[in-house]
Every structure is written in structure tokens, then in C-alpha cells.
Structure 1
């Protein structure tokens, strides 16, 4: 229960945000236009905010540490280290992708972007969730805490949770504000394609690291 309550807070917030944007779409559009002077920023800001809320779901960040002293059980099961790591990643994806998709679809319905903008408002947050699921695992493999006596310790007080959550917020804010100097050069849709591509490349790098070095670290814990 502590794990879901503390690491899955984003699930409820994502769904709540989706409902909010449906109700307050005119207010939100007007606010973005007034602040930035153009509605070109709508897709980028909406996508970045969804990413920021999704980063509140940090199930993967303490997932290795939560094995505690019983990690030998996972290591002795008739599955490979990669399968064990993938299971933790997939748990994060299952619990985060669905509410993220719901929030994104609500934002698309409410904000009425272009077709390409709608596609990217859905795709960008989902790529971010994949990235965030793997960065949490990578950090937890680098900074595991298997000697806890209370499960709250790895959930609330571990380096991996702190770095992944604040890193997710910073990355989301970077996605938002990096478009400002580029807004006169490229459209928000093209910018989001580029942001999703960069995030996708980071996902490939993390996937490679987890499969090669991450599995070795897991086996030796």
C-alpha cells in the first residue's frame, strides 16, 4: 500500500488534470495565449505539463531497493536478470501509460490542436513515460538500498527516487521553455517531433545500458 500511495500519486492527478482541462479549456487556452502572446505554445505546454505530472509516478525508481534482503529470491528464479528488470519497467509502464493516455486524449479534445499536434500531444508524453521508467531503474541499480528495515525508507528517502523525480520535473520544464527561443523558427508540432526523437534516443541508450550493464549489476547485488 505504501508503494502505490507514494509512488503512484500521478495516476489520480493525471486523470484529474484530464477532467480539469475538459472543463476549463477556454480558460487554459486564454491563459497560455496571454502569457506567451500566441496559441502556438499550446501543444508544447500541454505536453510538457502532462510529462511533469507523469513524472510523479516513480514506481521504477525504488523497485530494486524494495527487494531488500530478499533480492536473492528474484536472482534465483528461473528467469534472466533482464526479464526481472523488464518486469519492473513494464509495471511502471502499465500503471502510468494508461492515465497518461487518458489525460493526453482529454487535452486533445479540449484544446483542439492540428492533427499533427494531436498526435504529438499523445506521443510525446508516452515516450517520456518510457524514458522515465528506465531512468528510474538505472538510478536504482546505481544507488540501491537493500538494508532497510522499513519499506518507507527506499520509497521516500532513496537517492534514486529523489534524482529521478526532480530530474523528471526539470526535463519536463526544459521541454516547455526550450521552445521559446525556437518559436519564431519552427512550429510547435515540429518541435515536439524533435523533442520526442531526442527522448527516444535517450530511451535506446538506457535500454542498451540496462540490458548490458544493468543486468550484471542486478545479478551481483
Structure 2
């Protein structure tokens, strides 16, 4: 047990004939493991990182396309006003369809026994899955928010909405994906594709994400609710649900 703990928390590197030990906390070690595993699996990246990639591509394109040219190409008369309302939901939608957490637990597969043999708490294990999704989201979020704020003229409320709403969606996506995967894990797989694209947890998590994106639009179109108010209301609900699901997921026994 001591040996397992030592291996989990320390990283040995040899340089010039000398060996140095770099210590990490248990969470940091698990988090780095998740990051390394994610980027080493092209299937996982391809199927769960598409939204973030699209967000980055669009953001970079907006760096070279002027608002006037964008309005001309899209047929939108007032681009600043349009994006002031819909940019937060656009970013949130791209983050919602990128959910590595919905398949992260299942991908442990037959190697789960290794984690069960080390002094690793269930809570730390699950927090590393949530942290993975939040890290991937942060790449697209920071780039897109910076570009939108620099390239377009938003008022204070619109800018604040752009900063806050996607974060709420990101947190909810990470937590609900982990929770659903805890409820419907699939460890008996032979091909990663089955887990990251066809498992019930991935399908269910994606459906929930789309519903959360659609609700503010439906409230705005059919009930004539202010779109900004609908976004803030949905964001508040998602944060409350995230807290509830977080405590529920931490109570689940996986390892």
C-alpha cells in the first residue's frame, strides 16, 4: 500500500546520472493522469472535443473578419446587438457538446482494479474527471470570450453575461456528465469508440446538454421572456443543480 501511494504521488526523472523526485498531491497526480490519457486517445479527443475546437476556429476567424464584413456575410444588420444576446449561448452550446466526463469513468475499463488497489479516495477520483472537462472547456472559453469582448461592442450587462453564463454551463456539463457516467458505467468494452460515442451515458449527457441550451430560447420565443433574463435564470438553475449533483456523485462508490 505504501508503494502504491509512493508511485501515485511521485514522479521520477533522471538527468545527468542523477535522479530527482517530483512530488504531487494525490489529486494532482490523478489530474495529470487524466490530461495525459485524454490527449493520448485521438478517439476521445475527436468525439468529445469537437465543440471546443469549433469554438477556437470561429474565434480565430473573427480575429480577421471585421464586424461589418460578418454582418454582410450573415445578413445580420446589427452584429453587436445580435452577438450581445446570443454569444453567451453560442459559447455555452459549444462547451455543452464537449463532455469528456461522460465517458471518463467507463474508459478505466478493466484497469479499474489498479485504482482500487491504491490509497485513492472515491471523491478525489471523481474530482479529477470533472477537472478534466473543465480544463478542456477553459481553452475554448478564454479564447472566445477574449475575442468577443475585443472585437464587438457589448454593454456591461452583455459583457457580464458573456463571462458568467458559459461558466455555469461548463460546470454543469462536467458535473452532470460525471454523475451520469457513475450511474451508467460501461467497463466491459473492447473498443474505445463504443464508450465515447455509443454508450448510454454519452447519449444521455448530450441530450441533457441540448435541452439546457434550448430552454432559454424557448422561453424567449414562446413566452416573450427577455433573452438575457432567461440566460441568467437558466445559469442560476444549472449552478444549483451542479451543487446537488456534485454531492450526489461524491457519494457514489466507484473505486
Fold equivalence (TM over 0.5): yes
CA deviation after TM superposition for structure 1 residue 125, in Å: 0.6
Question: Does 1 or 2 have the higher relative contact order (CA < 8 Å, sep 6+)?
Answer: 1
Label 1:28 to 1:199 Cα distance change in 2 as closer, same or farther (>3 A).
farther
2:216 & 2:179 partners in 1: Cα distance? 22
* Counterpart mapping for 1:188-199 below 5 A: 188-199=227-238
User: Structure 2 vs 1, CA of residues 107 and 177 (structure 1 numbering), >3 Å: closer, same or farther?
Assistant: farther
**Structure 1 residues 21, 167: closer, same or farther in 2, change over 3 A?**
farther
Matches within 5 A, 1:7-86: 7-22=48-63, 23=65, 25-26=67-68, 42-86=83-127
**C-alpha contact (below 8 Å) 2:109/2:188 kept by paired residues:** yes
1:152 to 183, 187, 193: 193
Q: Which has the larger radius of gyration?
A: 2
Aligned mates of 1:194, 1:38 — CA distance in 2: 24
Q: Deviations over 1:60-99 (max 9, x none)?
A: 0110100101112122221200000000110111111221
C-alpha separation between the residues in 1 aligned to 2:61 and 2:239?
A: 29
How many residues are aligned here? 212
The two structures, once aligned, show a CA RMSD in angstroms of 2.5
Alpha-carbon distance in 2 for matches of 1:165, 1:32: 30
- In 2, Cα distance between equivalents of 1:149 and 1:195: 39
Cα separation, partners in 2 of 1:168 and 1:28, compared to 1, 3 Å: farther
Instruction: Please give the residue correspondences for 1:140-179 in structure 2 after superposition, counting only pairs within 5 Å.
Output: 140-179=181-220
**TM-score under structure 1 length normalisation:** 0.84
Higher strand proportion = 2
Unaligned segments of structure 2, at least 5 residues? 1-40
Task: Point out the more displaced range, 104-113 or 52-61.
Answer: 104-113
Which residue number corresponds to residue 148 of structure 2?
Answer: 107
Give yes or no for contact 1:43–1:113 (8 Å, CA) kept in 2: yes
